């Protein structure tokens, strides 16, 4: 019976592909799993990566926690998701749809992988930009099995046409789409297996209200504390077979900007430094010297962060300055400044976003090393004196 249903689904998807051919756009056909991909093959269709493939052998994935009891930080989020996963598993149902949002590198993708493992389900991994046409989303949805997990990274970048297909899929587990043109056009109703959609985004405000409201579980991931990152570094060092002292792990954690992904990256750089210039054992002094060589200071700011602060404090007298002007002065993309540089500077209180533009705080100006010139400039302006 299940075989007949699957055959019917394949026929419907095939009909959709034929309709694409009639309209002049070639139907996309790609491998269903990562193991079917021939090395060097370029694919336009979204990549489908089930859990347990060779991808797990890569270094980045090797450092990812595989179960919730291995996950460090985000305690409230993990506790809530664990309860929901256990309840759904006991009832034999698909987990409610999950939306994870927050700054990059905090573990959104890791949580999606853990949910799939805890549910003992297959994970289908794609991204918003990869799903360009309705045929893309129909093809993926029609191949989802019972209680499978569909993970869409950067879900805020879905086109409106693709997004509308997700509405009925998430709510009623069906997709209605049209094949043919003119008098030959007909609407096909495609039933779907109950599945779980996990959306990940760094810009939750860009999601449309109809899509956002269809997620039953919505979580915000926040930056990690230094203590939590120290545990992350120690766990990763054990996996990488690196000897590291508590002070060395704390030194790396202090410079990791509250982000596990950065902590793991810095750990690998410090490991290289300790291996080449020392005996391979990482302590606080080795960690400090290695990261200074990489241009990362004691607060985790890199060269671009410090250049941003210095430019705003010196060239623009502490602000206000528009982000476009700063991007032009630094010869950087505006998107890079807004998504990479500014979030952490805002968190640690080094800059302010105002309606007039960006401003440095006294702490930010001091870190940039121009506090004397900035103080003189600001004190000459009563409006800006309050800013100090």
> What would the pLDDT profile of 313-337 be if each residue is shown by its tens digit?
888 888 789 989 999 999 989 888 8
User: Using alpha carbons only, how large is the chain's radius of gyration in Å?
Assistant: 25
| 26 pLDDT more than 80 | no
Is the distance from CB of 353 to CB of 361 less than 8 angstroms?
no
Q: Are 16 and 177 in contact (CB under 8 A)?
A: yes
**CATH label, 2-25+46-220, candidates 3.40.50.620, 3.40.718.10, 3.40.50.300, 3.20.190.10:** 3.40.50.300
> How many angstroms separate the CA atoms of 310 and 114, rounded?
42
At residue 12, the pLDDT reads 38
**Residues recognised as catalytic:** 108-109, 153, 202, 261
- Computed over every residue of the chain, the mean pLDDT equals 79
Q: What is the mean pLDDT of residues 132-140?
A: 82
Domain assignments of the chain as residue spans, ordered by start: 2-25+46-220, 226-293, 303-385
Q: What is the mean pLDDT of residues 118-129?
A: 89
Please state, in angstroms and as integers, the Cα–Cα distance from residue 133 to each residue in 138, 195, 211, 220, 261, following that order.
Answer: 9, 21, 17, 29, 32
What is the CATH code of the structural domain delimited by 226-293? 1.10.8.60
- Asked if residue 51 has pLDDT above 60, the reply is no
Rounded to whole angstroms, the Cα distance separating 253 from 233 reads 7
Mind listing the pLDDT tens digit for each residue in 140-192?
A: 888 888 889 999 998 998 888 888 888 888 888 888 777 767 667 777 778 88
pLDDT at 186: 74
| C-alpha neighbours within 13 Å on the C-beta side of residue 183 | 0
Separation in Å, CA 253 to CA 109, 260, 267: 21, 9, 9
The percentage of the chain sitting over the pLDDT mark of 70, rounded to a whole number, equals: 79
- What string of H, E and C letters represents the secondary structure of the chain? CHHHHHHHHHHHHHHHHHHHHHCCCCCCCCCCCHHHCCCCCCCCCCCCCCCCCHHHHCHHHHCCCCCHHHCCCCHHHHHHHHHHHHHHHHHCCCCCCEEEECCCCCCHHHHHHHHHHHCCCCEEEEECCCCCCHHHHHHHHHCCCCCCEEEEECHHHCCHHHHHHHHHHHHHCEEEEEECCHHHCEEEEEECCCCEEEEEECCHHHCCHHHHCCCCEEEECCCCCHHHHHHHHHHHHHHCCCCECHHHHHHHHHCCCCCHHHHHHHHHHHHHHHHHHCCCCECHHHHHHHHHHCCCCCCCCCHHHHHHHHHHHHHCCCCCECHHHHHHHHCCCHHHHHHHHHHHHHHCCCEEECCCCEEECHHHHHHHCCHHHHHHHHHCCHHHHCCC
Q: Higher model confidence: residue 198 or residue 3?
A: 198
d(Cα 112, Cα 85) in Å, to the nearest integer?
A: 12
Span 3-7, mean pLDDT?
43
pLDDT of residue 131: 84
Tell me the CATH class for 303-385. mainly alpha
C-alpha span between 344 and 381 (Å, rounded):
28
pLDDT attached to residue 60: 61
Omega of the bond prior to 249 within 30 degrees of 0, cis?
no
**Whether pLDDT at 73 is above 70:** yes
As a whole number of angstroms, the distance between CA 124 and CA 90 comes to 22
Query: Which residue in 279, 303, 281 sits closest to 291, CA to CA?
Result: 303
| Lowest-pLDDT range of 5-14, 59-68, 187-196 | 5-14
pLDDT over 50 at 27, yes or no: no
216-251, pLDDT tens digit by residue?
999 999 889 999 999 999 999 999 888 999 999 999
pLDDT for 47 equals 41
Q: Distance between CA atoms of 5 and 222, rounded to whole angstroms?
A: 43
Neighbours of 33 (CB within 10 A): 13
pLDDT in tens, 249-297: 999 999 999 899 999 999 999 999 999 988 888 888 999 999 998 889 8
Q: Are 109 and 151 in contact (CB under 8 A)?
A: yes
pLDDT at 261: 92
Residue 24: is its pLDDT beyond 80?
no
121 or 178: which leads in pLDDT: 121
- Matching residue, tokens 């200074």: 292
pLDDT at 260: 92
Distances (CA, A) of 76 to 71, 83, 89, 204: 12, 11, 20, 19
Q: How many residues does the chain have?
A: 388
What integer pLDDT is reported at residue 58 of this predicted model? 56
Question: What does the pLDDT look like over 338-377, one tens digit per residue?
Answer: 888 888 899 888 999 988 899 999 888 888 887 544 444 4
Question: CB count, 10 Å around CB of 209?
Answer: 7
């Amino acid at each position: 019976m299940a075989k007949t249903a699957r055959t019917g689904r394949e026929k419907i998807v095939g009909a959709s592909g034929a309709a694409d051919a009639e309209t002049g756009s070639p139907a996309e056909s790609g491998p269903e799993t990562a193991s079917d991909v021939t090395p060097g093959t370029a694919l336009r269709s979204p990549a489908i990566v089930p859990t347990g493939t060779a991808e797990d052998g890569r270094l980045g994935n090797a450092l990812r926690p595989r179960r919730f009891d291995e996950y460090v930080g985000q305690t409230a989020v993990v506790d809530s998701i664990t309860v929901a996963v256990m309840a759904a598993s006991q009832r034999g149902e698909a987990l409610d749809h999950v939306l994870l949002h927050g700054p990059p590198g905090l573990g959104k993708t890791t949580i999606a992988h853990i949910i799939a493992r805890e549910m003992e389900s297959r994970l289908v991994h794609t991204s918003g930009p990869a799903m360009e046409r309705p045929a893309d989303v129909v093809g993926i949805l029609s191949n989802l099995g019972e209680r499978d997990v569909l993970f869409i990274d950067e879900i805020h970048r879905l086109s409106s046409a693709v997004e509308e297909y997700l509405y009925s899929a998430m709510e009623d587990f069906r997709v209605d789409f049209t094949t043919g043109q003119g008098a030959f056009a007909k609407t096909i109703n495609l039933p779907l297996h109950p599945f779980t959609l996990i959306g990940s985004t760094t810009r939750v405000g860009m999601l449309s209200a109809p899509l956002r409201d269809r997620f039953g579980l919505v979580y915000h991931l926040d930056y990690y504390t230094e203590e939590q990152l120290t545990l992350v570094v120690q766990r990763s060092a054990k996996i990488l077979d690196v000897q590291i002292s508590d002070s060395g792990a704390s030194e790396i954690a202090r410079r990791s900007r509250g982000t596990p992904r950065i902590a793991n990256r810095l750990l690998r750089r410090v490991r290289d430094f300790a291996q080449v210039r020392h005996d391979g054992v990482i302590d606080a002094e080795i960690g400090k010297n290695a990261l200074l060589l990489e241009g990362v200071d004691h607060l985790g700011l890199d060269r671009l962060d410090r250049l941003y602060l210095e430019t705003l404090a010196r060239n623009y007298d502490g602000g206000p300055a528009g982000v476009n002007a700063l991007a032009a002065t630094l010869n950087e993309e505006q998107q890079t400044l807004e998504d990479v540089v500014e979030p952490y500077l805002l968190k640690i209180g080094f800059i302010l976003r105002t309606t007039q533009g960006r401003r440095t705080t006294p702490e930010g100006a001091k870190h940039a090393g121009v506090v004397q010139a900035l103080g003189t400039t600001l004190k000459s302006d009563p409006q800006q004196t309050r800013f100090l």
